[in-house]
Amino acid sequence: MLKIYNTLTKKIDEFKPISDKEVGLYTCGPTVYHYAHIGNLRTYIFEDILKRVLEYNGYEINHVMNITDVGHLTDDGDNGEDKMEKGSQREGKTAWEIAEFYTQAFQKNLKELNIESPTTWCKATDNIPEQIAFVQTLTDKGFTYATSDGIYFDTTKFPSYGEMANLQNQELEAGSRVDMGEKKNPHDFALWKFSKPEEKRQMEWEAFGRKGFPGWHIECSAMSSKYLGHHFDIHCGGIDHIPVHHTNEIAQSEAAFGEHPWVNYWMHGEFIVMKNDEKMSKSGDNFVILDTLIAKNIDPLAYRFFLLQTHYRKQLNFSWKALEAAQTGLNNLRNKVLALKNKNIKTLKHENTSPDVLVIKTSFLEKINDDLDMPGALASIFDALKNDEIDYETILQFDKILGLELDKIKKENIEIPDDVQKLLDERKKAREEKNWSESDRLRDEIKALGYNVEDTSEGQQISK
Ligand code: AMP
Ligand code: ZN
């Protein structure tokens, strides 16, 4: 039985799909005005694990991910610049070129992290008529009003507004924290924005009698209903989406479709934060992307392994030291799996039914089905690797969830340059003399040249 934490009910619920076999899953995708930072990527890895766990439980997944290539303003209160137009000014390219470039960069990151592709990718700009029709439906049903700068959703017409995020309990004095502009209520949000008369936008469309562009939330409601229908199983994102983006998606979709709940399970991944709780941002020192890791000789899958060690609902602190430890941990796991492969490469013919292995498999399944307890699942695997009965194929079955490409490990024949070999020899001598500080210093020196050393029962093992 699969159990998952549902932000809607605020408890761990048994997962019951709407239809027997296929699960409808919508995950909010990137705003493609810059590279995804490693915080963003944590959310996509959590969603990938969810998908793999559903697949492991025998479900087929109809997974839709959007690309926000228009309409995401720099603040959540429907003010500020459009992030795409901002990206275009920053780089001197058109907004369309920016969107194309960063969409490709994002999809490359997903491959590098071994994240499975969605069944359907959809771009906001490819679905403008659907969004206009959605705003029209809401207008026909009496949920909207127009101001001089856009068409807004009137949250007072939707009594359960903000239930998932507990917003009803938050006293929001009009104008105190939110720049109200001509909005009637603080939580009201833009469904459609009108282009300002003085500005020439690169991305704008004729609708409602003027030029304009969609509000950020409407794309997810329009595209999820297009591909998954008016009622589907699971919707995910990072926790920052709970109070604004997802709250607004729920309001506009339930108002338009009359379905409650519109989505049965809402799942949110916690953030990864920098030291001192600083936010990860898309500019400045806190802007760490996957390429930054690769440039420091950290394998993207070591970042994946790093994330698996913490439950997706726990905040995680980023540090280079922890990431390096994860790289060593992954190398260690790979070495163990390779040794296992070499050990039972000839003997494997049938599924392993040893009682020990059955216990291990059950324990692994219990962990992943317990709200995606990946730290627990990893611990089961390391325990399993200590058991003489475990076989390579069973570990590969587990890797269907981990996604660490344990089936692709091969012993690398690394050519060791002379200077690195000299340091290795010095380190061997230092270790024989039990001079651990010198040994550590030499390890760092070797690392600076791009090689990792591990101490195994067979001596120093080197990897790139
Ligand atoms: P964006 O491209 O800004 O729309 O964000 C893409 C995804 O990354 C969203 O699901 C966000 O909730 C998520 N996200 C943003 N910052 C972080 C972070 N520091 N840690 C984890 N997820 C994040
Ligand atoms: Zn969304």
What is d(CA 257, CA 253) in angstroms, rounded to the nearest whole number? 6
Q: Is the CB of 29 under 6 A from ligand 1?
A: no
- One domain, residues 182 and 62: yes
325 and 343 share one domain: yes
Q: If you take atom 2 of ligand 1, which residue's CA is the nearest one?
A: 30
Assess whether 359 and 439 both reside in one domain: no
- Position 173 scores a pLDDT of 47
| Cβ contact 60:269 at 8 Å | no
* 61: nearest Cα among 52, 73, 74, 49: 52
Query: Does residue 307 contact residue 45 with C-beta atoms inside 8 Å?
Result: yes
Q: How many other CB atoms are found less than 10 A from the CB of residue 117?
A: 12
Task: Tell me whether residue 408 is annotated as binding.
Answer: no
pLDDT at 174: 43
C-alpha 79 – ligand 1 centre gap (Å): 20
Q: Binding residue per annotation — 217?
A: no
Distance of CA 102 to the CA centre of its chain: 16
- State the distance from the centre of ligand 1 to the C-alpha of 191, rounded, in angstroms: 22
Q: Are residues 88 and 164 in the same domain?
A: yes
Pull the structure tokens for residue 461. Answer: 């093992």
**Parent domain of 342:** 320-408
Same domain flag for 51 and 200: yes
Atom of ligand 1 nearest to the CA of 238: 12
Which of 269, 300, 329 terminates a domain? The answer is 269
CATH of the domain at 206: 3.40.50.620
Q: Which ligand is nearest to the CA of 287?
A: 1
The total domain count for the chain is 3
Residue 301 maps to a domain: no
Looking at the structure, do residues 235 and 353 belong to the same domain, yes or no?
Answer: no
Q: Ligand 1 in contact with 66 (CB < 6 A)?
A: no
Q: pLDDT tens digits, the chain, 464 residues: what are they? A: 999 999 999 999 999 999 988 999 999 999 999 999 999 999 999 999 999 999 999 999 999 999 999 988 888 778 888 889 889 999 999 999 999 999 999 999 999 999 999 999 999 999 999 999 999 999 999 999 999 999 999 999 999 999 999 987 665 444 455 678 899 999 999 999 999 988 889 999 999 999 999 999 999 999 999 999 999 999 999 999 999 999 999 999 999 999 899 999 999 999 999 877 777 877 667 889 999 999 999 999 999 999 999 999 999 999 999 999 999 999 999 999 998 988 876 555 567 788 999 999 999 999 999 999 999 999 999 999 999 999 999 999 999 999 999 999 876 556 778 899 899 999 999 999 999 999 999 999 999 998 888 786 667 877 76
364: in domain: yes
Residue of 47, 240, 288 best suited for mutating to test ligand 1, as the one with most atoms within 8 Å of CB: 240
Same domain, 326 and 430: no
| Residue 220 annotated as lining a ligand binding site | yes
Atom 14 of ligand 1 has which residue's CA nearest to it?
40
Q: What is the pLDDT of residues 382-410, one digit of tens each?
A: 999 999 999 999 999 999 999 999 999 87
